[in-house]
């Protein structure tokens, strides 16, 4: 039931109770007044007739006195007059209180309900000679009962009419003062809940609902301002995050530069040698064509190396697309192989079969590259760094939530010095690093973790000092963008 109807019903019930109570009191007062009037009439009639009765008795005798009562009875039908000696046995049929009052010289009356029709019996004490008697006035209460019934019916009709009128007025006022304003406020709340923060409601009345409407309007304005601020802050955060990730890519490029330069040395020497042979005329005929072919081949090889490095360093808008992770791992190994070769590290990969996901290949490659570079830095002596790709059932960490299910897993396992138990819980914190000064900013692992979380996954690590570390990337196989990434 709506609020306006509840208020209207409560007011109508209250009004009905008040009116009914007042009418009940009025009916009772009317009944008491009617009963008092009847008793007064009986008393007046009793004393009037009693005086005539006594004078007639004294002047003309008992028979003439009783004839006065009989004549009075013939003049009307409702009221009956009678005579009662108080010293006769029939007087004892009166209620003791009434009889005692009469013998004390007081008039009295009572309602007699022993008959089919109730009677009002009134007695006026009279002394005839030396004997005490009483004029009895008897009147049926039918008129009074009829009057009561008419009064009750009239009161009920009046109460119903007043209640109905009050109901109609209350419904109209409730609809105007409560119903419509509440509907407008509910509509405003729905529109705000649906994201329409420009919605407003204006009430012309001056009451608590108007105050609530003003408060809701101010709330909508505040939410709109807060939304704009959050949008601006989110855009700034995303821009800063992208700058940070790009800076991390550039830092990784710097680490790869020396290895790439060394990788370019051999083909450059080949190109230089073949060019000298052509220029000096040492190569002639078919040999010249062979030198040109070798030069072209080496230039293409160098171009591919440089393009791969530039692609890795280039700033791009995050974009998800179907990607074969096996090919992504091989591209990453090719990019890092020159750096690994200089450190006498062998790069190896294991994959049971093709794994296709809808991801941002550049971001996943950046995260994988950071983990592999960190692994190579941790290896102070020759060894093997392995990348293993597969699927595994796992339970996400508490901050990510969700049930245990299948995930795509990439393990980067090195044979380095490992991570101490004290540093292990902090390795994904920004600017935390265990490297020497100048070797790292402490952002690589933090950026990598953020990139993987944007894809709905996480990175875990297991390490034992002196026996190496294993960083595991977990990605959801459905490869859908998470809410955190959208934020």
Q: What is the pLDDT of residue 325?
A: 92
Give me 295's structure tokens: 């030069």
Instruction: Check: CB of residue 452 under 8 Å from CB of residue 459.
Output: yes
Q: State pLDDT tens for residues 410-469.
A: 999 999 888 888 888 778 776 556 555 445 545 678 788 888 888 889 999 999 888 899
State the first-to-last Cα distance of the chain, in angstroms, to the nearest integer: 41
Given the candidates 3.30.450.20, 3.40.50.2300, 3.50.50.60, 1.20.950.20, the CATH classification of the domain at 3-160 is: 3.30.450.20
Q: State pLDDT tens for residues 46-95.
A: 888 888 888 888 888 888 888 888 888 887 778 888 888 888 888 888 88
Q: What is the pLDDT of residue 266?
A: 62
Sign of the four-CA dihedral 435, 440, 442, 448: negative
Task: Place 483 in a pLDDT band, splitting at 50, 70 and 90.
Answer: very low
Q: Which residues 6+ apart lie within 8 Å of 50 measured at CB? A: 124, 126, 135
Reference 371, options 456, 445, 446, 292; nearest CA is 445
The values of phi and psi at residue 136, to 5°, are -100, 125
Q: Which residue has the higher pLDDT, 301 or 469?
A: 469
Q: For residue 470, how many other CB atoms are within 10 A of its CB?
A: 17
Q: State pLDDT tens for residues 268-294.
A: 766 777 677 777 777 677 778 777 877
Question: Beta strands of 49-175 (E only): which ranges?
Answer: 80-85, 108-112, 119-128, 131-140
Q: What is the pLDDT of residue 326?
A: 92
CA distance linking residue 42 with residue 120, whole number of Å: 9
What does the DSSP 8-state code read for residue 464?
-
User: Which three-class secondary structure state does DSSP give residue 357?
Assistant: strand
Reference 475, options 358, 372, 353, 329; nearest CA is 358
Q: For residue 452, how many other CB atoms are within 10 A of its CB?
A: 21
Q: What is the pLDDT of residue 346?
A: 93
Mean pLDDT of 184-188: 82
Instruction: Check: CB of residue 15 under 8 Å from CB of residue 8.
Output: no
The whole-angstrom distance between residue 472's C-alpha and the CA centroid of its chain comes to: 40
CA distance linking residue 94 with residue 181, whole number of Å: 71
Task: Place 382 in a pLDDT band, splitting at 50, 70 and 90.
Answer: very high
Task: Place 487 in a pLDDT band, splitting at 50, 70 and 90.
Answer: very low
Torsion, Cα of 372, 413, 342, 256 (10° steps): 0
The whole-angstrom distance between residue 121's C-alpha and the CA centroid of its chain comes to: 74
Q: Rounded mean pLDDT of the chain? A: 80
The whole-angstrom distance between residue 218's C-alpha and the CA centroid of its chain comes to: 20
Instruction: Check: CB of residue 301 under 8 Å from CB of residue 267.
Output: yes
H/E stretch holding 485: helix 483-486
Q: State pLDDT tens for residues 20-52.
A: 788 788 878 877 888 888 888 888 988 888 888
The ranges assigned to domains in the chain are: 3-160, 319-487
CATH number of 319-487: 3.30.565.10
Task: Place 345 in a pLDDT band, splitting at 50, 70 and 90.
Answer: very high
Q: Which residue has the higher pLDDT, 4 or 418?
A: 418
Q: Which residues 6+ apart lie within 8 Å of 453 measured at CB? A: 400, 482, 484, 485
Task: Place 471 in a pLDDT band, splitting at 50, 70 and 90.
Answer: very high
Residue 373: exposure state from Cβ atoms within 10 A (0-12, 13-18, ≥19): buried
The values of phi and psi at residue 86, to 5°, are -75, -15
Q: What is the pLDDT of residue 262?
A: 55
**Is residue 154's pLDDT more than 50?**
yes
Instruction: Check: CB of residue 300 under 8 Å from CB of residue 271.
Output: no
Mean pLDDT of 254-271: 64
**Is residue 472's pLDDT more than 90?**
yes
User: Which three-class secondary structure state does DSSP give residue 320?
Assistant: coil
H/E stretch holding 347: strand 345-350
Q: Which residue has the higher pLDDT, 393 or 304?
A: 393
Q: Is 9 left (phi over 0), alpha (psi -120 to 50) or beta?
A: alpha
Instruction: Check: CB of residue 324 under 8 Å from CB of residue 356.
Output: yes
**Is residue 399's pLDDT more than 50?**
yes
Percent of the chain with pLDDT strictly greater than 70: 85
CA distance linking residue 242 with residue 262, whole number of Å: 30
Segment among 245-249, 333-337, 405-409 with least mean pLDDT: 245-249
Q: What is the pLDDT of residue 268?
A: 77
């Amino acid at each position: 039931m709506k609020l306006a109807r509840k208020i209207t019903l409560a007011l109508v019930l209250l009004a009905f109770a008040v009116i009914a109570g007042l009418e009940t009191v009025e009916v009772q007062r009317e009944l008491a007044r009617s009963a008092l009037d009847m008793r007064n009439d009986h008393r007046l009639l009793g004393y009037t007739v009693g005086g005539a009765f006594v004078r007639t008795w004294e002047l003309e005798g008992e028979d003439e006195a009783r004839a006065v009562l009989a004549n009075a009875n013939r003049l009307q039908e409702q009221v009956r007059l009678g005579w009662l000696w108080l010293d006769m046995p029939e007087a004892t049929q009166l209620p003791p209180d009434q009889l005692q009052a009469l013998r004390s010289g007081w008039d009295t009356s009572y309602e007699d309900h022993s008959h089919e029709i109730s009677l009002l019996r009134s007695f006026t004490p009279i002394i005839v000679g030396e004997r005490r008697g009483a004029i009895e006035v008897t009147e049926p209460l039918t008129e009074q009962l009829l009057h009561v019934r008419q009064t009750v019916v009239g009161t009920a009709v009046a109460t119903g009419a007043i209640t109905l009128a009050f109901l109609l007025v209350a419904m109209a006022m409730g609809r105007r003062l409560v119903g419509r304003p509440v509907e407008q406020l509910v509509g405003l709340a729905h529109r705000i809940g649906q994201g329409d923060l420009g919605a407003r409601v204006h009430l012309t009345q001056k009451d608590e609902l108007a105050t609530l409407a003003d408060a809701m309007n101010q709330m909508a304005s505040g939410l709109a301002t807060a939304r704009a601020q959050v949008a601006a802050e989110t855009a700034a955060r995303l821009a800063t995050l992208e700058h940070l990730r790009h800076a991390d890519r550039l830092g990784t490029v710097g680490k790869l530069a020396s290895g790439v330069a060394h990788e370019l040395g051999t083909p450059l020497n080949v190109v230089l040698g073949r060019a000298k042979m052509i220029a000096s005329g040492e190569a002639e005929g078919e040999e010249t064509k062979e030198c040109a072919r070798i030069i072209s081949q080496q230039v293409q090889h160098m171009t591919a190396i440089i393009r791969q490095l530039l692609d890795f360093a280039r700033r791009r808008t995050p974009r998800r697309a179907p990607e074969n992770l096996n090919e992504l791992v091989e591209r990453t190994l090719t990019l890092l192989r020159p750096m690994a070769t200089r450190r006498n590290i062998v790069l190896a990969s294991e994959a049971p079969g093709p794994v296709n996901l809808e991801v941002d290949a550049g971001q996943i490659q950046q995260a994988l590259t950071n983990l592999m570079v960190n692994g190579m830095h941790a290896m102070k002596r020759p060894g093997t760094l392995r990348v293993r790709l597969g699927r595994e059932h796992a339970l996400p960490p508490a901050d990510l939530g969700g049930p245990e299910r299948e995930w795509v897993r990439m393990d980067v396992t090195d044979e380095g010095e490992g991570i101490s138990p004290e540093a292990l819980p902090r390795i994904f914190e920004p600017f935390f690093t265990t490297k020497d000064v100048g070797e790292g900013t402490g952002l690589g692992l933090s950026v990598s973790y953020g990139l993987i979380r944007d894809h709905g996954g996480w990175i875990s690590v297991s390490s034992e000092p002196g026996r190496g570390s294993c960083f595991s990337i977990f990605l959801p196989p459905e490869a859908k963008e998470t809410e955190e990434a959208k934020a």
